[in-house]
Chain A
Amino acid sequence: MAGFDVARVRKDFPLLERSINGQRIVYLDSAATSQKPRRVLDAMQQYYETCNANVHRSVYQIAGEATEQYENARHKVRRFVNAASEREVVFVKNATEAINLVAHSWGRMHLQPGDAVVLTHLEHHANIVPWQILAAERGIEIRWVPLTHDYELDLTDLDRLLDGAKAFCFSAMSNVLGTITPVRLLTDAAHAHGAIAVVDACQYVPHVPTDVQEMGADVLAFSAHKMCGPTGIGVLWGREALLDAMPPFLGGGDMISDVRLDGFTPNELPVKFEAGTPPIAEAVGLGAAIDYLNDLGMANVRAHEMALTGYALDRLEERYGDDITVFGPRNVEHRGGAISFAFRDVHPHDISQVLDQSNVCVRAGHHCAKPLMRLLGVQATARASVYVYNDADDVEALVEALAAASDFFTI
């Protein structure tokens, strides 16, 4: 099934060795956050125990080592997404902050009343609300690319929507539907209309080999914690010329080259956007997560998840037929491993509660995508999502545990 042995991979994740009431944990919520391998936890521990000091500040040895580890993480990120240089890799808190940074800095510099920003109906709140804040403040127009009945972007009117637009901001993979969008086609379309392409790749980078140059993106955002790394750090990648022309977002230490009583001169990229002491241990953890994923091989990760997602869709359909509705593409080539579903008329909260009795962890709710929920005509969905440590046994546990939901809620 995969180029790696899932049983061995699972042993790398200490949390997955925990049992509750004598039963193992079936973790199917990696679209919310992934579990962390020992290697990441050890790297962060090693940093704190051997060279904890502030970065970019002091001349003593451990400060130098801390800076080196921090910058080495940036180098690993650059290679992982094939950025042209380290100057294009900005460490932020998470993908949400990355998009907010772009909306705040680039948006305030370039958008005038009446300008249009194009979003899609499958966006996470993180790629909606920053633009809505700007819309309220600047009087810009937000346009929406709709969805087809197959849960893919409906590109019929794309040219009309992009006409005169300044930015096209879209997700590379939906956190609800799993849909993978045609990124290159979309970035080309944006550029043909003179718009920049902002890619929310929070669900994409952890699961699919990513090459920002091949994608043709101008900006790409992702979070470490969904890719085996720690919480508290994410990445804003941007084309150097674009980032260079953008004003600073947060002001403070590290982001300046000079401060006088009458003003300041911002520092160079990328630290121009890294005000204050950054998440150093978290960067080290992210670097270790990238090493871990590279050892598995991102092509193998993608192949594993395609096979497992296909298996899960088949098993759910076989067992429950019309009693289950999956919201998302059926073709695994067009989707990732987030499987949102409705089961009979049991509310997702109740499904999640019943599954928890079997230690099957799935998310229930609106997944921070309320506009999409309204379009789907549901208030919430249950969502199971797979990653490198999940296998067919986990899918079977989900299928079995769902049967218990019927016992309580079927009259």
Chain B
Amino acid sequence: MPGLEDLYREIVLDHYRNPRNKGELPVPPAVRTEGVNPLCGDEIAVYLNVVDGHVVDIKVRGQGCSISQSSASMMSSAVKGRTVEEVRALVRAFMRMMSIHEHALESDEAEPEPEVKLGDLEALRGVVKFPPRIKCATLAWFTLTQGLDEATGATA
């Protein structure tokens, strides 16, 4: 049986207690997207400012459990300053770590994904051992993806 230490790693709890990039950005120029977890009521709002293909700023507002909120904080730190392509690759890598695969990635013909360094986000790897909590960890990332689509005019 996985222990709580696998889930509540020190770095995860640190992001929960001291969330990074907490707040809001003026809309526009930023885009605001919202995510909710209807099962448990976790809520998140991601403010994303994309200029010339770069995430120049990001802020997050939310309420929820330690996993949802720390994942949002770690996500904001990880994507700030990166290009949209880099962020999308990071989202895919994070989702893979959470055992969520896009169909295209599962086929043999798919292009091999370049190595993406997850850094601190590795601390959330233990969440997959607690399947009901995967939705908590991925909420911010699904919301980020919506924001990216909106900011870049892509259709989801």
Contacts and interface: CB of A to CB of B under 8 A. Distances in A.
Contacts of A380: 40-41
A252 interface: no
Interface of B is mostly: mixed
Contacts, number: 47
A349 B40 contact: yes
Given A347-B65, A349-B64, A411-B17, A365 B4 contact: no
A349 B13 contact: no
B6 to A, nearest CB: 11
Interface stretch (A61-69, A104-112, A272-280, A350-358): A350-358
Interface in B67-102: 67
B63 A379 contact: yes
Nearest to A411: B17
Given A350-B65, A353-B133, A364 B17 contact: no
Nearest to A373: B41
A20 B17 CA distance: 32
Nearest to A349: B65
B58 interface: no
Interface in A339-395: 347-350, 353-354, 357, 364-366, 370, 373, 379-380
Interface residues of B, number: 20
A314 B67 CA distance: 31
Given A353-B130, A353-B133, A354-B4, A365 B66 contact: no
A366 B66 contact: no
Given A347-B66, A373-B41, A408-B8, A21 B136 contact: no
Interface string B1-44: 10110011000010001000000000000000000000111110
A409 interface: yes
B66 A409 contact: yes
B34 to A, nearest CB: 14
Nearest to B3: A357
Given A366-B41, A408-B8, A379 B130 contact: no
Given A353-B133, A380-B41, A411-B17, A21 B65 contact: no
B101 to A, nearest CB: 25
Contacts of B1: 20-21
A366 B42 CA distance: 10
A408 B13 contact: yes
Nearest to A357: B4
Contacts of B42: 349, 379
Interface centre among A348, A349, A353, A379, by most chain B C-beta atoms within 10 angstroms, is A349
Interface string A35-78: 00000000000000000000000000000000000000000000
Top 4 closest pairs, chain A to chain B, by CB: A349-B65, A347-B65, A365-B40, A366-B41
27 contacts: A20-B1, A347-B64, A347-B66, A349-B40, A349-B64, A349-B65, A350-B8, A350-B65, A350-B66, A353-B7, A353-B133, A354-B4, A357-B4, A364-B40, A365-B39, A365-B40, A365-B41, A379-B42, A379-B43, A379-B63, A379-B64, A380-B41, A408-B4, A408-B8, A409-B13, A409-B66, A411-B17
